[in-house]
Amino acid sequence: MNYGPLLFLAAFFALAGSWFGFVLTPQAQIGQLQPTNMLGAPTLYPQARPGLARQGLDVYRANGCADCHSQQVRQSATVCDVLLLAAGTNAPAVLSALHQLKPGLSEADARQWFSALPQPVLQGAKPTEADDAVKLLKGAGAKASVLIVPVGSDIARGWGKRRTVARDFLYDYPVALGSQRIGPDLANVSVRQPDAAWHLRHLYAPQIEVKGSAMPPYRFLFEKRNNEIVPKPEAVALVAYLLSLRADAPLFEAPLAAAPAAAAPGATNAPPEADLAATNAPAPSGAAPTNAPAK
């Protein structure tokens, strides 16, 4: 019996299934993503990076920064906090509800809460537990709300407030996700370190800013001029790119514990104008620029 046609069909369906699973399905899921309104603010997110920052992405790639740094904050779980916002007018009923939620809470402590609201009633609760607690408090006449709290090792390190999602990279091509973490994650580096001068110093001499840093110096991005060390255009562009790296906008698919106040246009995924201006200024006379993102 000739098994050739059967083998051909088996190989064809295997390859077709792989194409549907690895190409077509992801394209259908995230290929048509568009900017969206931030939760709690009318600003669209993300916004395209300014031209200088886009040039900096090329410098970032050319110098292999993605080999040592990632741009993807990981999140292991989501928990909920329940906040008591207002006690209402039926204090005995609210006290009874609080005793059910926090059996160890004394009446005196509960009454002290009422003078210093908002106060956390539950922390790190499951979503169903949080919803039940809010219903109980509202049934007693109090005002309460649920805060969604992302948790994970990266968030605990301060590398981000929420997990990284596909929408964060909507205007980036190519996406510099990175594959290793010899240095810290840079998805929100401009939030942690918004000082352009710090990044220039760090690029020039990493160990000055970060003791024991494994990052090599990038002194070829600088030049000596009139007894001063000044950044070349490549260094300025790279710092502009680093200052544009922030993915802390509250999104529907990646909410934060509390939505920040409405951000001014350009505040997310774009370096503030003051920081961009600072990147164009030469380093202080006689001072060697120190460090960019720690590697």
Q: Do 247 and 292 share a domain, yes or no?
A: yes
Question: With left for phi above 0 and alpha for psi between -120 and 50, is residue 238 left, alpha or beta?
Answer: alpha
What count of other Cβ atoms lies within 10 Å of the Cβ of residue 201? 22
Q: Do 104 and 205 share a domain, yes or no?
A: no
Query: 5: Cβ–Cβ under 8 A, 6 or more apart, which residues?
Result: none
Q: Do 47 and 86 share a domain, yes or no?
A: no
- Token pair of 289 as six digits: 């620029």
Residue 195 lies in a domain: yes
Q: Do 202 and 290 share a domain, yes or no?
A: yes
Q: Would you say the pTM of this structure is higher than 0.85?
A: no
Q: Do 202 and 218 share a domain, yes or no?
A: yes
Q: Give me the DSSP letters along 149-204.
A: EEE-HHHHTTS-SS---GGGGTT-SS----S--SS---TTHHHH---HHHHHHHHH
* Tally of domains within the chain: 2
Of 133, 149, 165, the last residue of a domain is 149
Give the domain extent around 130.
77-149
What DSSP designation does 48 have?
Answer: P
Residue 270 lies in a domain: yes
Residue 282 lies in a domain: yes
Residue 18 lies in a domain: no
Of 85, 119, 149, the last residue of a domain is 149
Per-residue pLDDT of the chain (295 residues), as tens digits, is 678 888 888 888 888 888 878 777 777 777 778 888 776 677 888 888 999 999 999 999 999 999 999 999 999 988 889 988 888 888 888 888 888 888 887 878 877 777 888 888 888 888 899 999 999 999 989 889 888 889 999 999 999 999 999 899 988 888 999 988 999 999 999 999 999 999 999 999 999 999 999 999 999 999 999 889 999 999 999 999 999 999 888 888 888 755 333 333 344 454 444 343 433 444 433 344 433 344 4
Q: Give me the DSSP letters along 93-142.
A: HHHHHHHHH-TT--HHHHHHHHTS--EEEEEEE-HHHHHHHHHHHHHTT-
Q: Do 102 and 237 share a domain, yes or no?
A: no
Residue 246 and residue 134: Cα distance in Å, rounded?
33
Q: Which residue has the tokens 């120190």?
A: 290
If 0-12 CB within 10 Å is exposed, 13-18 middle and 19+ buried, where does residue 99 land?
middle
Of 149, 172, 193, the last residue of a domain is 149
Residue 55 lies in a domain: yes
Q: Do 168 and 283 share a domain, yes or no?
A: yes
Q: Do 115 and 236 share a domain, yes or no?
A: no
Residue 25 lies in a domain: no
Q: Do 221 and 239 share a domain, yes or no?
A: yes
